[in-house]
Every structure is written in structure tokens, then in C-alpha cells.
Structure 1
Amino acid sequence: MRLRELRLSCPAGRLTGAQLAQQLGWASSKVSKLEHGRQTATPEDLRAWAEATGQPAAYTELAARLTGFEAHIRSWRRALSHGFRPVHEMLTAEIDRSTRLWVWEEAVIPGLLQTADYTRHVLTRYAELLAPAADIDAAVRTRVKRQEWLYRANRTLHVITWEAALRALICPPATLAAQLDRLACLIGMDTVELGVIPFSASLRLPATNGFWVFDDRLVVTEDWHAEVWLDDTDSVTLYRKAWHTLRESAVYGTDAHNVINTARRALNTT
């Protein structure tokens, strides 16, 4: 919105998107994408925009907005430019700082509960979509090592997953079977509260938008284009409320074990 305001308030008269694009030597679609948030501007883009609209002093404000935006919206394309491992290490640091986690995943087994083989298949699929990566094995090791958190004193993982995550063949059936065996073994562990929402359960919220809440200070959620980090009180409160609303549809203990075992038997593996 601010970029559009600058374009329309040029001291020499408002510019159309096409005129601004021509002046900057850009494709006209780039102006539209930047104004509507479909493309993230670089600092160079912002400086050029401010100067081309005759308001170079606006660059300082635009740059500050970009810094604040990137602190919350972390583009996968940029984040993965150095591979998966740095991304995993950043999240591991936040997990290490936390004593309680509230996790909701609708279509994938949560990372703290994944087997190494399952993790490898998940990361490979993301690499195929987002960016080639040569460090998948290193990222797998980082994610598996992260699970040491579950065995520390005064730590609790509150996790809910939808039955879809138990059945999604993002990996070969044998790999998923081993993953489900691991989940079943985690039920009853004193640092893990594992709930499953069966397909048959009534839902008060759509089963979408996986997210993690770290203590009462941070939420991390993902979309196809970016990972979103939110640390304001209102956002943390909202996601905690969403988690507890989803929890009302979950089953635990023996009932959760039965849902997992049903999914396991459907794989028809030994």
C-alpha cells in the first residue's frame, strides 16, 4: 500500500504502473506484484522506487518496513539459498529455549516425533518444490538430534495431529509404517501429550494451518512461500486459543493408539 501511495503522490504528478516500470526498466508486472505483496522487494528495489517517484527520503522508511517484514515473514526461497541445515538450526535454537511446546500439524508428522527416514522423504519433497539442496542428510541429522529435547527434565510437548497425517504417503508405505510404530510408542511418555483428531470427529475449526507455539512468546507457522514468525501477544494468544479449540476434537491414550493402529494396518506391510 505504501509503495502505491508513493507512486500516486509523485511531486511531478502521479505515475501509472506502466510508466513507473518503464522508467525503472522493469516488467510492468513487477510493479503490480510489489504493490500487492506478491513479490518481496529488495533494498535496491525500494531505493529505485523512492527515487523514481521523486521522494528519495522515503527510502529510509521503506527499508525499515522491509526489515520488520522480513523479521516475521521468512521467504523459503531466501532461507533455503544456503540449504536446509541453517533453517533447522534456527528452529532448534528456539526449541532449546522453550520448556513447553504446543504443536498442531494437519498433514505431516511433527518434526520432533519423526523418524530419520520419514524426515528424509519430507525434506526431499520440499527440496523438489522450493530449491535444490545438497545438505538434506545434514538437515536430517539436525532434526533427529533436536529430539533430545524430549528427554530433558521439565520439558513438555503438547501435540495434536489430524488422522490425515497418519495416512499421507509422502514416503513409501514401509517408512510410514515405521513412523506410525514410533508414534504408538510415544503414547504415555511423560514429556509428550499426543492427541489425534480422527476423520470421524466433529471439528470446531477447519483442519488447516499447522503451527508451533513456543512457551508464551512465539508462534511459527508455515505456508508454501514462507515461514511466519509471530511474537506479539495477540498472535500468541490467538494461536493458543486455536490449539485448545482443536484439542476438543482430539482423542488421547488408548483411543489415539487405536487410530494410529488402524492407519498402520491399512498399509498392509509386515
Structure 2
Amino acid sequence: MSTDFQQARAALGVRLRELRHTCPNGRLTGSELAERLGWTQSKVSKLETGRQTATAEDLQAWAAATGHPGAAAELISRLTGLESHVRSWRRQLATGHRAVQEGINEQFTRTAHFRAWENSMIVGSLQTADYARHTFARYADLHRSPRDTEEAVCARLKRQEGLYQQGKRYCILMWEAALHALICPPQILAAQLDRLAGVVGLATLELGIVPFGASLKIPPANAFWVLDDSLVITEDWHAELWIDDAASVATYVRTWETLRESAVFGPDAQDIISRARRSLAAG
């Protein structure tokens, strides 16, 4: 979780404490407020100390219970600003994956230069429908979110139209491990690898593979995207992070460029893809 996010959540907690201390009918203790709200005292404590993220409903209830109903809009505005950078999967996937994919699609329509690093799976912009289908199913299981798999697949595939649009530039790096990860049946991964081999020559695409045996200057850690050198999107198990401060974006750009030094391209990349494809057939 980012330091900026932690600081913003702590600041929200300070504001919540201020409201509890300035109730019109006198200051409330944490236990008294918890009793009014029907919560545990530990929840009140965690919200005030920035150790738990409030929901909009929590904030509305807090404002009402402390006698400051007019503060609800301010609190929710703070929450919206906080979550604009750290977007929990629990909330994003409340209605399924389609809405998340459509939100990313909107960002892609405004993006001319897309750079990606992926260490464990095929990047979404190059996925086949069947591969994407299995990916969404796996994550729906993990997050226990509604299954709107077909709608999510359609939204993800629509994003791939940019590969064929003049003026777009896709620079995608993947670790060789992504070519072998069996998050889908072998026959679906085989078709996915055929798809990768087929796009190597696209004018809009630079596809690099970092081989298992490559010398690495940095570990091939978590996946991320860089959009027009102004926004980074990266994922953790609990949330998706949207990072737009210049210093952090610059760090991700340097990371991407460092990883690129270990990658191979063109015929050499195709050879690695073909080797992974043959290993599936041999298995």
C-alpha cells in the first residue's frame, strides 16, 4: 500500500476524531460512539487511526451519529480522493469485471504510448478470448465477485482495437515465465502462444521477452503499465493502484527501461515463444 494512501487515510481518521470530539451535545468517547452506531469499539479505533478504510455508508453514519450530518459530503469527498489512487478490488468488483475493463478502456482511448511489464501472465492487450475467459474466472473465484465473464471478455478484447490504430504505440515486455503459466488448459495456452507469435510483426507493437537465462539488473517483480509517461497502473492482491505523481512515474519508467535491457525482440522473441509452444506439445 502506498505511503500517500496511508497518509490520506490517516488524515481522514484525524477528521473523524475531530467530529467525535466536537459533538453538539458534548464529546463522545470511542465506546459511546460505537454503541450509537452498533459497531465494535475496535472499528471506531481503526477508522480514527487510519488502519481501516471506511465505506461511504460508514462515513454517513459517523457524521449523523456525531451530530454533524452536513459533514457527510466532505468525508465522502475525502474518501473518493483517497480511492482514486488505491482502488480496492472488493469495491471495484462489486458488480463484476466488466465495469473495471470499461474504465480502463476509457483510459486507453486517450493513450498514445503504452508500455507494459508482465511477469506471470500474458498481458491483457494481447490475450485471446479463451485465455481472458479463464483469467477472469480465476479472479472471480479469488475475490468472490459476480461472474460477468463474457461481458468482461468482450470489454477486454475491444481494448485491443488500438493495436491496429495509426498513432498508437505498444511496447510490451514479458518474462518467459508468463509463456508457461498454466492458468488455463494447455490447449488454450497453445492457442494464446500462437496469437503472440502472430503479432510480433505488427507496426504498432514492440514485443520483448526476457528469457529465463537472461542476466537481470533488477528482479522481475510485479507487473505494471505506463500510459503516456503520466500514469502508472499496477495491481496487488487487494487493490489496483493508479499512480500519477511525476517522481513515482519516473521510477516505473526507469524500471521498465532496465528490464528492457534484458529482453530479446523480433525473431529471437519468436524463438522463445515457439519453444514454449513446443514444450506444451511435448507435455
**TM-score where L is the length of structure 1:** 0.87
Name the residue aligned to 2:56: 43
Count of aligned pairs: 269
For 2:74 and 2:85, the matched residues in 1 are separated by 17
Q: CA deviation at 1:54?
A: 8.0
Q: CA deviation at 1:244?
A: 0.9
Q: CA deviation at 1:32?
A: 4.8
Which amino acid is the alignment partner of residue 229 of structure 2? D
Which amino acid is the alignment partner of residue 99 of structure 1? A
Ranges in structure 1 where 5+ consecutive residues have no aligned partner: none
8 Å contact from structure 1 (residues 7, 14) kept in 2: no
- 1:62-82: CA deviations, max 9, x gaps? 433212112222222222222
Alignment map for 1:44-193 (pairs within 5 Å): 44-49=57-62, 62-193=75-206
Distance change (3 Å), C-alpha of 1:36 and 1:219:
farther
Name the residue aligned to 1:227: 240
Ranges in structure 2 where 5+ consecutive residues have no aligned partner: 1-9
Q: CA deviation at 1:251?
A: 1.6
| Partner SS for 1:268 | helix
For 1:204 and 1:20, the matched residues in 2 are separated by 53
For 2:50 and 2:188, the matched residues in 1 are separated by 39
Q: CA deviation at 1:217?
A: 2.5
Which amino acid is the alignment partner of residue 214 of structure 1? L
Q: Out of 21, 27, 30, which is 1:10 matched to?
A: 21
Name the residue aligned to 2:6: none
Which sits farther off after the overlay, 47-56 or 207-216? Answer: 47-56
| Partner SS for 1:160 | strand
Distance change (3 Å), C-alpha of 1:116 and 1:4:
closer
* 1:241 matches 2:254: yes
* 1:204 matches 2:213: no
- The root-mean-square deviation of aligned C-alpha atoms, in Å, is 2.7
| Partner SS for 2:225 | strand
8 Å contact from structure 1 (residues 73, 227) kept in 2: yes
Distance change (3 Å), C-alpha of 1:3 and 1:132:
closer
Q: CA deviation at 1:143?
A: 1.3
| Partner SS for 2:247 | helix
Which amino acid is the alignment partner of residue 34 of structure 1? L
Name the residue aligned to 2:280: 267
